[in-house]
Amino acid sequence: MDDLVIAGIDIRSGSPRSKKRPTYSVSIVRGENVLFESEEVTLDEVFSLMRRYGVKILATDNVYELAEDMKGLRLVMEKMSPGSKLIQVTGSPHGIRSLSSIAKEAGLPSPSHRDPLGTARIVARLAQRGVGIEVIAMYPETRVLITKNRSIRQGGSGSDRWRRSIEASILSEANKIATELDAANLDYDLYVERASGGLRRAEFIIYAGIEDVRRIVKESSEWTPLRVVVRQSWRSKIKFPSSRLSPLPRSRPIIVGIDPGMSVGLAVIDLNGNLLALRTMRRASRSEIVEEILNYGYPVIIATDVNPPPKSVVRIASMFDSKLMVAKYDMKADEKKRIVADYEELKGIRVESSHERDSLAAALKVYYRVKNLASKARLRAKEEGLSSEIDRILTKVLKGTPISVAIDEILAEREEEREVRELTYAELKKELRRLNKYVRSLNERIGELKRELEKKDALLMEKEREINELRRKIEDLEDRRSRELEIDRRISIRDARIKELEQELERERWRNELLKSQMRQLVSSPKVVNGVKLTVLPSLSKERIDELGNKASEGVLLALDATGASTSILRRLKEIGIKAVLYRGSPPPKEFIERAGFEGITVAPLDQFKISWKGLDPVLPSEEALRLLSTVSTQQESKEIDRRSELDVLNIIRDYRMALLRAVNGGEESTEEANLE
């Protein structure tokens, strides 16, 4: 931290709780150089000095010398230079230690209440050596909730259409607000619940004051179908890391796994692989996640298995200045389950949800990756007699500093922690030689790393070429395999069809032989049958009747299918001398049967008569023909009787009307009566 500009301050007079404005002594240092000192300045002047000298760390022994409460402390931190940090060198309020004991352990002179400027110098030097805990400010957040208005409901058959309309409106409103927030350059996170028509619910967590948000987002009235609510999210605004302090107060280095989403999975493990925390946070803001992390230490590495990492995870890592490690590929569910199951069995714990599993898997994957590096760093630290500095060395190493460089930096810091004494010219030359040697070793190491990087780049290009070639071969094989499968499928279909046709052909051949045998038997039969030969037609269609012509010499037809018979063919049947029509199976239409009776053609079912065969020709035996003839005679007699009855009824009606007319006209025969005659 030698290159950082650090300001140490101590209160000189007054108090933030009194009406009198407090004043402070300030000392601004960089390395061994003192850039500025003043016995008495106001807090606003301290902020001006920070901006003038580019101060990155403002150190104090008690943050409540700057403000009377959390709200005031937040306002103080808002006035600090962007990117600067506030350090309390005596630890957190829950584990504070005296400044004199910390200064003694660090090899610095004891502070005096009578010398505020001296105390400010000691505070600056302690912060320069990494002593103290950073104060994290949780700035105000505003939440914007977009849902349907429960006070307005739509029922009936259009309820589904109404619901989809509301879901589409929520999606449209969320897109509109996101566009306006982006245009206003306001930082935010967005959680949504998706639905078939759009969104069922959308919630923005905007990292700005509620007044800034209300300039952009307008709340809805209680009578609109869409409900937009803007509300302040009040959380703890100031947070210190864990109060468990090492001999010199500093945060415990940890590895944090984050599974982002509507439900955030959070896993915290230390550098020995011990689980410190595992939980699920519903619709959590960044400040809530940061607060939870700081309960267990200060993250060196933040891991996630989502690639590319979400904006919220990237910004949480930047808030802590942590190294962000993202999986090069999305871990499969089986891999996550295996890693977590092994850890559950080892530690005797139980993971409750998929979010906790994913976050723990990401943290463990990073831990296993850096485990060997951390072990080497611990071993080297013990060899150098720096067991008490293992956490600091691991923090540097896991952020990318080589082990030897990290140890040299710690040794250099320890060397600087000895009593300040005037260096002689010989000591300066010795120190310069050591530094030159250190610079040469660094340059050599840089050269080695560059050469190794070139080799890795060349190897990577070669591997990429091999991968592309293998991918091309795999695609060719997959295409060939697809073609072979399609050919096999078509051959199987063809073979099945051939087999089916062969079976059908065999059945038809067998049936043909059977019919031939039956025909031979019928032709060779010596039996003589007397009766009426039946003319067989497949159907009673006009085409079949025209083809028949005058061939039906016996006057009786046998229709194999009479269901489609129409009355238009009856006249033609009568012309060619057809007296009767026998049908097989379903009868012809009712209109056809009635009309045939008027034409003198009998229509009867075949199963009422016995049929004989004369060779291949069907014959109606004589006795059956006589029975059919009697049916025809009976039908004709019935029709004659019906005709006579009809005439008798007409005569009766006529006589009755004539009698009525005579009664009206007094017995005289009128013209109308004559007309009736």
What is the band of 106 on the pLDDT scale with cuts at 50, 70, 90?
confident
State the average pLDDT over residues 524-547.
77
- 655 CA to centre of own chain: 96
557: CB partners within 8 A, 6+ apart? 534, 535, 536, 537, 540, 573, 578, 580, 581, 582
Higher pLDDT, 452 or 617: 452
Q: What pTM was computed for the model?
A: 0.43
CATH number of 252-416: 3.30.420.10
State the average pLDDT over residues 76-99.
77
> In the prediction, which pLDDT does 27 show?
93
The answer to whether residue 94 scores a pLDDT higher than 60 is: no
The answer to whether residue 56 scores a pLDDT higher than 50 is: yes
> In the prediction, which pLDDT does 266 show?
92
Residue identified by tokens 């306001």 is: 186
Task: Please state whether 238 falls in left (phi above 0), alpha (psi between -120 and 50) or beta.
Answer: beta
CATH number of 531-640: 3.40.50
The b/e string for 148-169 (b: 16+ C-beta within 10 A; e otherwise) is: bbeeeeeeeeeeeebbeebbeb
> What percentage of the chain carries pLDDT values higher than 90?
16
State the average pLDDT over residues 125-136.
84
Cβ proximity of 391 and 296 under 8 Å: no
Considering only 101-110, 157-166, 184-193, 245-254, which range has the smallest mean pLDDT?
Answer: 245-254
89: CB partners within 8 A, 6+ apart? 59, 60, 61, 99, 102, 123, 126, 127, 131, 132, 249
The CATH class that applies to domain 141-154+162-233 reads: alpha beta
Cβ proximity of 305 and 259 under 8 Å: yes
- Averaged pLDDT of the chain: 80
> In the prediction, which pLDDT does 635 show?
56
- Report the C-alpha gap between 148 and 421 in whole angstroms: 73
Give the highest mean pLDDT range of 180-189, 288-297, 326-335, 631-640: 180-189
Number of Cβ within a 10 Å radius of residue 603: 23
Cβ proximity of 208 and 142 under 8 Å: yes
> What DSSP element (H or E) covers 259?
strand 253-259
Q: Tell me: the pLDDT tens digits for 294-346? A: 888 888 899 988 778 888 888 888 878 888 888 766 677 888 888 888 888 88
Considering only 105-114, 426-435, 476-485, which range has the smallest mean pLDDT?
Answer: 426-435
What is the band of 385 on the pLDDT scale with cuts at 50, 70, 90?
confident
The answer to whether residue 28 scores a pLDDT higher than 90 is: yes
For residue 178, give both structure tokens. 């996101």
Considering only 52-66, 154-168, 208-222, 496-510, which range has the smallest mean pLDDT?
Answer: 154-168
Q: Domain ranges in the chain? A: 5-137, 141-154+162-233, 252-416, 531-640
Considering only 186-195, 584-593, 645-654, which range has the smallest mean pLDDT?
Answer: 645-654
